[in-house]
Chain A
């Protein structure tokens, strides 16, 4: 924690700081998602002898789609398709989790009411978008 870059805002430093956690949320979400996508695609192509993923996603919002996949994980009926779908879900949830964490961090770590409100606004619009249906 003593690299020159992290010294920049030493005055405002908390033992548990927002930037570091956000950075880990982003990178772990992306790595997990890409791993699921690669593993799922390889399994799918081994089973179907074809690299083209010949299936469609349900025309559902992320909430419904995620709920369906979680049910399948819990039932233990996981196919290559489900692994790929989970990769897409994890990817889409990565920025969402980042915003959700920022709301908590602005409220309880930074104790900044203004930015807690802004972040909650962003979070509610994103939540609305997860429930969209056409």
Chain B
């Protein structure tokens, strides 16, 4: 019975995650801990394995269509995997309340980021610093709406790399893809076009999640009774959510998601400080 409830909860997390473009993990861990009373570290471990499935599934399509930039992805993965290993080590060594607290703060930060969401154009950046040029951080993609090939260059590779270590750390520590954070770094620091930044972030997430997942596996935290229904539920849910995406209006999903984020964020923080 519990397995079916976990499957259903994961399905919902996957659908909402995909509809809002945030990934399933950010809702999954709060759902599992707050509703299903799963131990927070077990929930984080199950979530990070499911992140491998969802990100690899969607990255497959984006890579094939040449929207994800494999080189930019590879370069940034050097930083995110180190971050993920450090993040997983922090979770393994710390108490449950600290994880609740950080998770709650990340949820509230995502709420704020969604609120302030800056408007971004579709035209590619063409300025580039020397390190980014040396690293060949550039490319082009075919824009279906505009029916043209959009060339672009990435910039500030140094700062981007350092910040990606942080994004990987959050991902490994909390068992989430931290896609929103990665996209923010791609957009605001490296000035990649939005399409390239979301799809390349997706590409990076799988490898980052693997680094974290290996640590949780070795620590014995991957429990089949939780992890298996979570993987199946989130994967099916995010497939379905991607289909929904086109039908629902953007602002309605955003508002709904902001409410969910703030409620879960406050609950997780309260748990973290011991008030719940």
Q: Contact residues of A with B, CB < 8 Å?
A: 4-9, 18-20, 22-24, 26-27, 29-30, 33-34, 37-38, 41, 51-62, 65, 81, 84-85, 87-88, 91-92, 94-96, 98-99, 102, 106, 112, 114-115, 118-119, 121-122, 125-126, 129-130, 132-134
A38: B residues at CB distance < 8 A? 232
Q: Contact residues of B with A, CB < 8 Å?
A: 1-4, 49, 52-53, 56-57, 59-61, 63-67, 70-71, 74-75, 77-78, 81-82, 85, 92, 135-136, 139-142, 144, 147, 149, 206-207, 209-211, 213-215, 217-220, 222-225, 227-228, 231-232, 235
- Which residue of B is nearest A23, CB measured? B64
Q: With contacts A51-B1, A118-B78, A129-B215 known, is A20 near B223, CB below 8 A?
A: no
Q: Assess the B81–A125 pair: CB atoms within 8 A.
A: yes
Q: Assess the A122–B56 pair: CB atoms within 8 A.
A: no
Q: Secondary structure of the A side of the interface?
A: helix
- Which residue of B is nearest A8, CB measured? B142
Q: Assess the B74–A57 pair: CB atoms within 8 A.
A: no
A81 to B77, CA, bound (A): 33
Q: Assess the B207–A62 pair: CB atoms within 8 A.
A: no
Q: Assess the B223–A26 pair: CB atoms within 8 A.
A: no
A115: B residues at CB distance < 8 A? 71, 74-75, 136
Q: Assess the B214–A132 pair: CB atoms within 8 A.
A: yes
A130 to B215, CA, bound (A): 8
Q: Assess the A92–B49 pair: CB atoms within 8 A.
A: yes
A11 to B214, CA, bound (A): 39
Q: Assess the A129–B214 pair: CB atoms within 8 A.
A: yes
Q: Assess the A26–B56 pair: CB atoms within 8 A.
A: yes
The smallest C-beta distance from B105 to any residue of chain A, in angstroms, reads: 26
Q: A119 contacts which of B1, B74, B139, B225 (Cβ < 8 Å)? A: B74
- Which residue of B is nearest A33, CB measured? B53
Q: Assess the B60–A122 pair: CB atoms within 8 A.
A: no
B49: A residues at CB distance < 8 A? 88, 91-92
- Which residue of A is nearest B227, CB measured? A88
Q: B210 contacts which of A65, A96, A134 (Cβ < 8 Å)? A: A96
Q: Assess the B149–A99 pair: CB atoms within 8 A.
A: no
A36 to B131, CA, bound (A): 44
Q: With contacts A53-B3, A102-B74 known, is A26 near B220, CB below 8 A?
A: no
List 26 A-B residue pairs with CB atoms under 8 Å apart, sorted by A's residue number: A5-B67, A7-B149, A9-B139, A18-B70, A22-B63, A26-B57, A27-B60, A27-B61, A30-B53, A51-B1, A51-B4, A56-B220, A56-B223, A81-B224, A85-B224, A88-B49, A88-B222, A92-B49, A94-B52, A96-B210, A98-B56, A115-B75, A119-B74, A125-B78, A134-B218, A134-B220
The smallest C-beta distance from B151 to any residue of chain A, in angstroms, reads: 9
Q: Assess the B85–A134 pair: CB atoms within 8 A.
A: no
A112 to B74, CA, bound (A): 13
Q: With contacts A9-B140, A33-B53, A132-B214 known, is A23 near B60, CB below 8 A?
A: yes
Q: Assess the B211–A129 pair: CB atoms within 8 A.
A: yes
Residue among B71, B211, B224 with the highest chain A CB neighbour number at 10 A: B224
B235: A residues at CB distance < 8 A? 30, 34
Q: With contacts A91-B49, A134-B92 known, is A5 near B135, CB below 8 A?
A: no
Q: A53-B3, A62-B218 are in contact. List 16 more A-B contacts (CB 8 A).
A: A7-B142, A8-B140, A38-B232, A51-B1, A52-B1, A56-B220, A56-B223, A57-B223, A59-B218, A61-B217, A88-B227, A92-B213, A94-B56, A115-B75, A129-B215, A134-B92
B57: A residues at CB distance < 8 A? 26-27, 30
B82: A residues at CB distance < 8 A? 125
The smallest C-beta distance from B73 to any residue of chain A, in angstroms, reads: 9
